[in-house]
Amino acid sequence: MSLPAVDVQAGNAARARQQQLTKPPGSLGRLEDLACWFAARLKNPVPAPPRCEIFVFAADHGVTVRGVSAFPQSVTAQMVGNFARGGAAINVLASLEDCRIEVVDVGVASDEPPPVGIRNERLRAGTRDLASTAAMTADELRSALAVGEHCVRAAVDRGVQLLIAGEMGIANSTAAACLICTFTGAAPEMVVGRGTGVDDAGLARKREVVRMALARVSKESSQEASRTLAGLGGFEIAAMAGFYIESARRGVPVMLDGYISTAAALAAVAMEPGVVDWMLASHRSAEGGHRIALEKLRLEPLLDLGLRLGEGTGAALTLPIVRAALTLHAKMATFGEAGVSEGIDESK
């Protein structure tokens, strides 16, 4: 399925409008670029701030047994409970932005079913240990991708114009590190960070685990992107990759979040390169490897506030910047309307 093209004409019309607004040309910096970016994707030279929805995908990781996280696996289910009760950071930000939020259990390891209000798409009680074997089967990967795709289709049916995917999954920064190493070619020392905050011993274990996983995968005959994602990813990461691909297919822009989200984005772009045209980078995470992942995608994040929480929080925090950019674009007076001189030559 080919991807829809962005509307270059609407983007150009937006750029022309920016030159007419009562400010020195270029003086709103990246806000001007943002307005034009959205104009081209919302196919409207003067778009209203887009209606946004946030999806949080949660799953567990077999690799947790190797002591790569500062938190026990049970925290994934506990945090899903926290999402259901509205107590997590992403709930607070979604509420501030008046954004619909949906939390999807794609594979949490728990004996209990997900709490009321959480969408149950559980594929398995977490992935397998990626250090020793493929994290998921090809069938499981297809199912996880489909979960993300389905969420996008439902959101598009509700008229959504901007999509955010966040995640929760203890040890998922290990899986993300494996994917970032594979898709960027960067060494584990550059890409593996402390995640939620492992100590030095934990960090050393995490790096060793990533090296083992990369060595295992490099021996495989097929280096297809989807095979890499199945071998090294997580259910929530694969759901996000499917989410990003389907968003682009539907012509709906997405705002990436942090380290895990960008690992999923790398996988999505490896599977379908044009997807990157529909991606905006919200923030640069404090997790060092995030910079490498964003550079590979050639995306420049808008914020850099030292966040490293995930859940979609960095993306949600960027929504007011998008709203400001588009409201300035639509509501500022032009030089003509305001009777303001455009420059020293015109006025003399």
* Chosen residue from 75, 134, 141, 240 binding its own copies by CB under 8 A: 75
Q: Which pair of tokens denotes residue 226?
A: 């989807």
Please list every residue from 289 through 308 that binds its own copies, using CB under 8 A: 302-308
> What DSSP element (H or E) covers 337?
helix 335-338
Q: Is 29 in the site for its own copies (CB under 8 A)?
A: yes
Site string for its own copies, 31-60 (x = CB under 8 A): x-----------------------------
Q: In what order do the strands lie in the sheet with 52-59?
A: 119-120, 100-107, 52-59, 162-168, 254-256, 279-281
Of the pair 23, 51, the CB lying nearest its own copies is at 23
Looking at beta carbons only, is 113 or 343 nearer to its own copies? Answer: 343
Which residues, including other chains, have CB under 8 Å from residue 3's CB and lie 6 or more apart?
A: 248, 249, 251, 272, 274, 275, 277, 278
The alpha-helical segments, DSSP class H, found in 86-234 are 89-96, 138-157, 172-184, 188-191, 200-218, 225-232
Residue 93 and residue 86 in contact, taking contact as beta carbons nearer than 8 Å: no
- 197, 220, 223, 295: which one contacts its own copies (CB under 8 A)? 197
Contact criterion met (CB below 8 Å) for 269 and 297: yes
Binding mask 122-151 for its own copies (x = CB under 8 A): ------------------------------
Q: What is the distance between the terminal CA atoms of the chain, rounded to a whole angstrom? A: 56
Assess 8 for contact with its own copies (CB under 8 A).
no
Site residues for its own copies per CB under 8 A: 21-31, 67, 69-72, 74-75, 78-79, 81-82, 85, 87-89, 92-93, 95-96, 195-197, 286, 302-309, 313, 317, 320-321, 323-324, 327-328, 331-333, 337-341, 343-344, 347-348
